[in-house]
Amino acid sequence: MKKYLTLENGDVFVGTACGDLGGEINGELVFTTSMTGYQETLTDPSYQNQIITFTYPLIGNYGISLGTNQSNKVEAAAVVVKEMTEQAFHYQSVISLDAYLKQSKIPAISGIDTRQLTKIIRQYGTMKASLTNFPVDKKKSASDHQASIIKMASLSASSDKKIDHVVLVDFGVKANIVKSLQRKEIDVTVVTPESTYEDIAKLHPTGILLSNGPGDPTAYSDFLPVIKKLQEAFPIFGICLGHQLLALANGAKTYKMTFGHRGINHPVKNLENGDIFITSQNHGYAVDADSIKETPLKVTALEVNDKTVEGLRYPGRPIFSVQYHPEAAPGPHDAAKLFDHFIDLMHATEEVH
Protein backbone atom coordinates (compact mmCIF):
# COMPACT_ATOMS: atom_id res chain seq x y z
CA MET A 1 0.00 0.00 0.00
CA LYS A 2 1.33 3.38 -1.04
CA LYS A 3 1.76 6.32 1.26
CA TYR A 4 2.44 9.97 0.43
CA LEU A 5 4.68 12.35 2.32
CA THR A 6 3.93 15.89 1.20
CA LEU A 7 6.22 18.70 2.30
CA GLU A 8 5.33 22.31 2.91
CA ASN A 9 7.54 23.32 -0.03
CA GLY A 10 5.48 21.11 -2.34
CA ASP A 11 7.86 18.14 -2.62
CA VAL A 12 6.12 14.77 -2.53
CA PHE A 13 7.74 11.45 -1.58
CA VAL A 14 5.91 8.25 -2.39
CA GLY A 15 6.65 5.19 -0.30
CA THR A 16 5.12 2.12 1.26
CA ALA A 17 2.76 2.39 4.19
CA CYS A 18 3.80 0.77 7.41
CA GLY A 19 2.96 1.19 11.07
CA ASP A 20 -0.70 2.25 11.25
CA LEU A 21 -1.46 1.65 7.59
CA GLY A 22 -4.53 3.87 7.28
CA GLY A 23 -3.35 6.67 9.57
CA GLU A 24 -2.97 10.18 8.18
CA ILE A 25 -1.25 12.96 10.04
CA ASN A 26 0.20 16.46 9.85
CA GLY A 27 3.28 17.48 11.74
CA GLU A 28 6.64 19.12 11.81
CA LEU A 29 9.17 17.18 9.69
CA VAL A 30 12.57 16.66 11.37
CA PHE A 31 15.46 14.23 10.99
CA THR A 32 17.68 12.44 13.49
CA THR A 33 21.08 10.97 12.71
CA SER A 34 21.11 8.44 15.59
CA MET A 35 21.95 4.97 14.37
CA THR A 36 20.69 3.27 17.52
CA GLY A 37 17.93 4.08 19.99
CA TYR A 38 14.86 4.43 17.75
CA GLN A 39 12.62 3.26 20.58
CA GLU A 40 13.89 5.90 22.99
CA THR A 41 13.61 8.54 20.29
CA LEU A 42 10.04 7.70 19.30
CA THR A 43 8.85 7.75 22.92
CA ASP A 44 10.65 10.99 23.79
CA PRO A 45 7.99 13.66 24.54
CA SER A 46 10.18 16.29 22.89
CA TYR A 47 9.23 14.74 19.58
CA GLN A 48 5.50 15.35 20.08
CA ASN A 49 3.72 16.27 16.86
CA GLN A 50 6.86 15.69 14.88
CA ILE A 51 7.32 13.43 11.89
CA ILE A 52 10.72 11.83 12.47
CA THR A 53 12.96 10.89 9.58
CA PHE A 54 15.75 8.46 10.44
CA THR A 55 18.85 9.06 8.34
CA TYR A 56 20.15 5.56 9.15
CA PRO A 57 18.42 3.35 6.58
CA LEU A 58 17.61 0.26 8.69
CA ILE A 59 15.21 0.92 11.56
CA GLY A 60 13.64 -1.71 13.80
CA ASN A 61 16.57 -4.16 13.78
CA TYR A 62 16.28 -5.20 17.41
CA GLY A 63 12.55 -4.72 17.97
CA ILE A 64 10.89 -3.12 20.98
CA SER A 65 11.90 -4.00 24.51
CA LEU A 66 10.43 -3.37 27.95
CA GLY A 67 11.89 -0.65 30.14
CA THR A 68 13.24 1.33 27.20
CA ASN A 69 10.41 3.79 26.58
CA GLN A 70 11.01 7.37 27.60
CA SER A 71 7.31 7.96 28.24
CA ASN A 72 4.32 5.69 28.30
CA LYS A 73 3.57 6.00 24.60
CA VAL A 74 4.93 6.77 21.17
CA GLU A 75 5.20 10.54 21.18
CA ALA A 76 6.25 11.13 17.58
CA ALA A 77 3.42 11.81 15.14
CA ALA A 78 4.80 9.64 12.34
CA VAL A 79 7.94 7.86 11.17
CA VAL A 80 9.86 8.04 7.89
CA VAL A 81 12.43 5.32 7.09
CA LYS A 82 14.28 3.81 4.19
CA GLU A 83 13.67 0.27 5.42
CA MET A 84 11.49 -0.92 8.30
CA THR A 85 12.91 -4.18 9.63
CA GLU A 86 10.06 -6.68 9.55
CA GLN A 87 11.19 -9.18 12.10
CA ALA A 88 13.14 -8.66 15.29
CA PHE A 89 15.21 -11.41 16.85
CA HIS A 90 16.75 -9.68 19.85
CA TYR A 91 16.20 -11.67 23.02
CA GLN A 92 14.64 -8.67 24.78
CA SER A 93 12.30 -7.83 21.94
CA VAL A 94 8.62 -8.28 22.80
CA ILE A 95 7.18 -6.97 19.55
CA SER A 96 8.50 -5.65 16.26
CA LEU A 97 8.73 -1.90 15.72
CA ASP A 98 6.20 -2.11 12.90
CA ALA A 99 3.67 -3.95 15.07
CA TYR A 100 4.29 -1.52 17.93
CA LEU A 101 3.56 1.43 15.65
CA LYS A 102 0.39 -0.29 14.44
CA GLN A 103 -0.67 -0.88 18.01
CA SER A 104 0.11 2.75 18.87
CA LYS A 105 -1.82 3.98 15.81
CA ILE A 106 1.25 5.76 14.49
CA PRO A 107 1.54 5.88 10.71
CA ALA A 108 4.88 5.35 9.02
CA ILE A 109 6.31 5.33 5.53
CA SER A 110 9.19 3.24 4.17
CA GLY A 111 11.12 3.01 0.91
CA ILE A 112 11.94 6.72 1.00
CA ASP A 113 15.22 8.19 -0.23
CA THR A 114 15.82 9.50 3.27
CA ARG A 115 19.14 11.09 2.34
CA GLN A 116 17.46 13.24 -0.28
CA LEU A 117 14.75 14.16 2.22
CA THR A 118 17.35 15.04 4.85
CA LYS A 119 19.13 17.33 2.42
CA ILE A 120 15.85 19.11 1.69
CA ILE A 121 15.27 19.66 5.43
CA ARG A 122 18.89 20.80 5.80
CA GLN A 123 18.38 23.32 3.03
CA TYR A 124 14.87 24.62 3.74
CA GLY A 125 14.88 24.04 7.46
CA THR A 126 12.38 22.12 9.53
CA MET A 127 8.99 22.33 7.84
CA LYS A 128 5.43 21.16 8.04
CA ALA A 129 4.52 17.99 6.25
CA SER A 130 1.65 15.58 5.94
CA LEU A 131 1.52 11.83 5.63
CA THR A 132 -1.50 10.67 3.62
CA ASN A 133 -2.93 7.66 1.84
CA PHE A 134 -3.64 9.57 -1.35
CA PRO A 135 -1.88 12.40 -3.14
CA VAL A 136 -2.93 15.72 -1.63
CA ASP A 137 -3.57 19.07 -3.17
CA LYS A 138 -0.42 21.02 -2.46
CA LYS A 139 -2.27 24.13 -1.35
CA LYS A 140 -4.21 22.27 1.25
CA SER A 141 -1.26 20.28 2.43
CA ALA A 142 0.42 20.53 5.73
CA SER A 143 -2.34 22.38 7.52
CA ASP A 144 -1.02 24.49 10.31
CA HIS A 145 -0.63 22.51 13.44
CA GLN A 146 -0.06 24.38 16.65
CA ALA A 147 1.92 22.47 19.23
CA SER A 148 -0.06 22.53 22.46
CA ILE A 149 1.46 22.77 25.89
CA ILE A 150 1.44 19.37 27.48
CA LYS A 151 0.21 18.66 30.95
CA MET A 152 1.27 15.49 32.70
CA ALA A 153 0.52 13.92 36.01
CA SER A 154 3.13 13.59 38.71
CA LEU A 155 5.12 10.39 39.12
CA SER A 156 6.26 10.86 42.65
CA ALA A 157 8.72 8.32 43.97
CA SER A 158 9.04 9.35 47.58
CA SER A 159 10.63 7.35 50.34
CA ASP A 160 11.52 8.13 53.94
CA LYS A 161 15.28 7.64 53.91
CA LYS A 162 16.11 9.94 51.07
CA ILE A 163 17.40 13.37 51.78
CA ASP A 164 17.45 15.16 48.43
CA HIS A 165 14.16 16.06 46.90
CA VAL A 166 14.04 17.40 43.39
CA VAL A 167 10.94 19.01 42.01
CA LEU A 168 10.92 18.40 38.32
CA VAL A 169 8.90 20.80 36.21
CA ASP A 170 7.61 18.63 33.42
CA PHE A 171 7.43 20.20 29.99
CA GLY A 172 7.55 16.72 28.38
CA VAL A 173 10.11 14.87 30.45
CA LYS A 174 12.00 11.79 29.26
CA ALA A 175 11.76 8.83 31.61
CA ASN A 176 15.50 8.55 31.84
CA ILE A 177 15.86 12.01 33.41
CA VAL A 178 13.62 10.88 36.26
CA LYS A 179 15.48 7.54 36.40
CA SER A 180 18.87 9.25 36.39
CA LEU A 181 17.84 11.15 39.53
CA GLN A 182 16.23 8.15 41.18
CA ARG A 183 19.38 6.08 40.55
CA LYS A 184 21.19 8.65 42.73
CA GLU A 185 18.61 7.97 45.49
CA ILE A 186 16.89 11.29 45.02
CA ASP A 187 13.21 11.78 45.68
CA VAL A 188 11.53 13.21 42.60
CA THR A 189 8.22 15.01 42.41
CA VAL A 190 7.03 15.88 38.94
CA VAL A 191 4.85 18.96 38.62
CA THR A 192 3.12 20.59 35.69
CA PRO A 193 4.14 23.95 34.22
CA GLU A 194 0.88 25.39 35.58
CA SER A 195 2.40 25.23 39.06
CA THR A 196 3.04 28.51 40.81
CA TYR A 197 6.13 29.36 42.80
CA GLU A 198 4.14 28.76 45.97
CA ASP A 199 2.98 25.30 44.80
CA ILE A 200 6.58 24.30 44.28
CA ALA A 201 8.02 25.90 47.42
CA LYS A 202 5.41 24.03 49.48
CA LEU A 203 7.04 20.77 48.41
CA HIS A 204 10.30 21.82 50.12
CA PRO A 205 12.59 20.88 47.28
CA THR A 206 16.35 20.80 47.62
CA GLY A 207 16.59 21.50 43.92
CA ILE A 208 14.55 22.21 40.81
CA LEU A 209 14.93 20.47 37.48
CA LEU A 210 13.48 22.20 34.43
CA SER A 211 12.83 19.38 31.98
CA ASN A 212 13.05 19.00 28.25
CA GLY A 213 9.96 19.29 26.12
CA PRO A 214 8.69 19.93 22.63
CA GLY A 215 8.18 23.09 20.66
CA ASP A 216 9.01 26.78 20.89
CA PRO A 217 10.23 27.86 24.35
CA THR A 218 8.51 31.26 24.03
CA ALA A 219 5.18 29.42 24.24
CA TYR A 220 5.89 28.96 27.98
CA SER A 221 6.04 32.68 28.85
CA ASP A 222 3.64 32.15 31.76
CA PHE A 223 6.21 30.09 33.57
CA LEU A 224 9.13 32.52 33.22
CA PRO A 225 8.21 34.61 36.30
CA VAL A 226 8.08 31.37 38.30
CA ILE A 227 11.64 30.54 37.25
CA LYS A 228 12.77 34.05 38.21
CA LYS A 229 11.42 33.50 41.72
CA LEU A 230 12.71 29.93 41.94
CA GLN A 231 16.24 30.97 41.12
CA GLU A 232 16.29 33.25 44.16
CA ALA A 233 15.66 30.28 46.44
CA PHE A 234 16.74 26.95 44.96
CA PRO A 235 19.49 25.20 42.98
CA ILE A 236 18.27 24.77 39.40
CA PHE A 237 19.26 22.42 36.63
CA GLY A 238 17.78 23.00 33.18
CA ILE A 239 17.87 20.45 30.38
CA CYS A 240 17.08 21.23 26.73
CA LEU A 241 13.79 23.22 26.79
CA GLY A 242 14.50 23.83 30.50
CA HIS A 243 17.81 25.37 29.49
CA GLN A 244 16.08 27.66 27.00
CA LEU A 245 13.49 28.71 29.60
CA LEU A 246 16.22 29.56 32.11
CA ALA A 247 17.76 31.80 29.46
CA LEU A 248 14.43 33.45 28.61
CA ALA A 249 13.61 34.01 32.29
CA ASN A 250 16.84 35.94 32.65
CA GLY A 251 16.16 38.14 29.66
CA ALA A 252 17.99 36.24 26.90
CA LYS A 253 16.49 35.42 23.54
CA THR A 254 15.95 32.16 21.68
CA TYR A 255 15.66 31.52 17.94
CA LYS A 256 14.53 28.76 15.65
CA MET A 257 17.45 26.89 14.10
CA THR A 258 17.40 25.97 10.41
CA PHE A 259 17.12 22.24 11.01
CA GLY A 260 18.10 21.78 14.62
CA HIS A 261 20.30 19.23 16.30
CA ARG A 262 18.95 15.71 16.36
CA GLY A 263 21.37 12.89 16.86
CA ILE A 264 23.65 11.26 19.37
CA ASN A 265 26.99 12.45 18.00
CA HIS A 266 27.15 16.13 18.88
CA PRO A 267 30.46 17.31 20.34
CA VAL A 268 30.10 19.90 23.08
CA LYS A 269 33.05 21.75 24.55
CA ASN A 270 33.01 22.88 28.17
CA LEU A 271 34.56 26.34 27.99
CA GLU A 272 35.61 26.24 31.63
CA ASN A 273 37.89 23.18 31.53
CA GLY A 274 38.24 22.36 27.84
CA ASP A 275 36.59 18.94 28.16
CA ILE A 276 34.65 17.77 25.14
CA PHE A 277 31.75 15.37 25.37
CA ILE A 278 29.86 13.56 22.66
CA THR A 279 26.23 14.26 23.51
CA SER A 280 22.71 13.23 22.69
CA GLN A 281 20.59 16.11 21.36
CA ASN A 282 17.25 16.95 19.91
CA HIS A 283 16.17 20.53 19.71
CA GLY A 284 14.95 22.88 17.02
CA TYR A 285 15.44 26.12 19.02
CA ALA A 286 18.59 27.53 20.58
CA VAL A 287 19.65 30.29 22.94
CA ASP A 288 21.03 33.38 21.20
CA ALA A 289 24.63 33.77 22.39
CA ASP A 290 24.71 37.54 21.95
CA SER A 291 21.60 38.03 24.06
CA ILE A 292 23.31 36.33 27.02
CA LYS A 293 25.64 39.29 27.39
CA GLU A 294 22.71 41.37 28.67
CA THR A 295 21.83 38.84 31.37
CA PRO A 296 23.45 37.68 34.61
CA LEU A 297 24.13 34.31 32.92
CA LYS A 298 27.39 33.01 31.53
CA VAL A 299 27.87 30.69 28.55
CA THR A 300 29.70 27.56 29.74
CA ALA A 301 29.61 25.30 26.70
CA LEU A 302 29.42 25.46 22.92
CA GLU A 303 28.74 22.96 20.16
CA VAL A 304 32.14 22.35 18.56
CA ASN A 305 30.92 22.56 14.98
CA ASP A 306 28.34 25.35 14.79
CA LYS A 307 29.26 27.09 18.06
CA THR A 308 25.65 27.25 19.31
CA VAL A 309 25.09 27.73 23.05
CA GLU A 310 25.09 24.38 24.84
CA GLY A 311 25.47 25.34 28.48
CA LEU A 312 24.69 28.22 30.86
CA ARG A 313 25.54 29.04 34.44
CA TYR A 314 24.44 31.72 36.88
CA PRO A 315 27.73 32.84 38.49
CA GLY A 316 27.52 32.88 42.26
CA ARG A 317 24.40 30.80 42.31
CA PRO A 318 23.81 27.01 42.15
CA ILE A 319 22.09 27.35 38.81
CA PHE A 320 23.10 25.82 35.48
CA SER A 321 21.62 24.34 32.37
CA VAL A 322 22.56 22.39 29.26
CA GLN A 323 21.03 22.24 25.82
CA TYR A 324 21.92 18.56 25.38
CA HIS A 325 20.66 15.45 27.12
CA PRO A 326 22.98 14.19 29.86
CA GLU A 327 20.49 11.39 30.58
CA ALA A 328 21.19 9.97 27.07
CA ALA A 329 18.70 7.22 26.13
CA PRO A 330 19.46 7.12 23.35
CA GLY A 331 23.05 8.16 23.12
CA PRO A 332 26.37 8.36 24.88
CA HIS A 333 26.78 8.62 28.64
CA ASP A 334 29.70 11.06 28.46
CA ALA A 335 27.81 13.84 30.27
CA ALA A 336 26.07 11.72 32.91
CA LYS A 337 28.23 13.34 35.60
CA LEU A 338 26.10 16.50 35.36
CA PHE A 339 23.56 14.84 37.65
CA ASP A 340 26.32 14.46 40.25
CA HIS A 341 27.20 18.09 39.76
CA PHE A 342 23.57 19.01 40.44
CA ILE A 343 23.64 16.94 43.63
CA ASP A 344 26.89 18.62 44.72
CA LEU A 345 25.30 22.01 44.19
CA MET A 346 22.26 21.00 46.23
CA HIS A 347 24.43 19.74 49.08
CA ALA A 348 26.61 22.85 49.04
CA THR A 349 23.48 25.00 49.20
CA GLU A 350 22.10 23.00 52.12
CA GLU A 351 25.30 23.50 54.05
CA VAL A 352 25.10 27.24 53.52
CA HIS A 353 21.50 27.34 54.70
Choice between 17 and 329, CB closer to other proteins: 329
Q: Of 85, 86, 96, 27, whose CA–CA distance to 59 is shortest? A: 85
Does 92 engage in binding with other proteins (CB under 8 A)?
yes
Nearer to other proteins, 35 or 99 (CB): 35
What would you measure as the largest C-alpha separation in the chain, in angstroms? 65
Burial class of residue 56 (count of CB atoms within 10 Å of its CB; 0-12, 13-18, 19+): middle
Q: Quick one: which of 2, 14, 154, 222 contacts other proteins (CB under 8 A)?
A: 14
The residue from 200, 227, 264, 319 that contacts other proteins (CB under 8 A) is: 264
Q: Measured between alpha carbons, how far is 112 from 329 in angstroms, rounded to an integer?
A: 26
Angle CA 274–276–277, to nearest 5: 150
Stretch that binds other proteins, among 185-193, 219-227, 275-283, 289-297 (CB under 8 A): 275-283
Single out the segment in contact with other proteins by CB under 8 A; choices: 49-57, 100-108, 162-170, 312-320.
49-57
Cβ neighbours of residue 101 closer than 8 Å, sequence gap 6 or more: 18, 19, 20, 74, 79, 107, 108
Active-site residue numbers? 240, 325, 327
Among 44, 83, 170, 327, binds other proteins (CB under 8 A): 83
Instruction: Find out whether 296 and 338 touch, Cβ atoms under 8 Å.
Output: no
Chain-centroid distance, C-alpha 342: 20
Question: Prior bond to 330 cis, omega within 30?
Answer: yes
Residue 134 in the binding site for other proteins (CB under 8 A): no
Q: Does 163 bind other proteins (CB under 8 A)?
A: no
Q: How many residues bind other proteins (CB under 8 A)?
A: 55
Which residues make up the interface to other proteins (CB under 8 A)? 13-14, 31, 33-37, 39-40, 55-58, 61-62, 65, 68, 82-83, 85, 87-92, 111, 113-116, 118-119, 122, 259, 263-267, 269, 274-276, 278, 304-305, 328-334
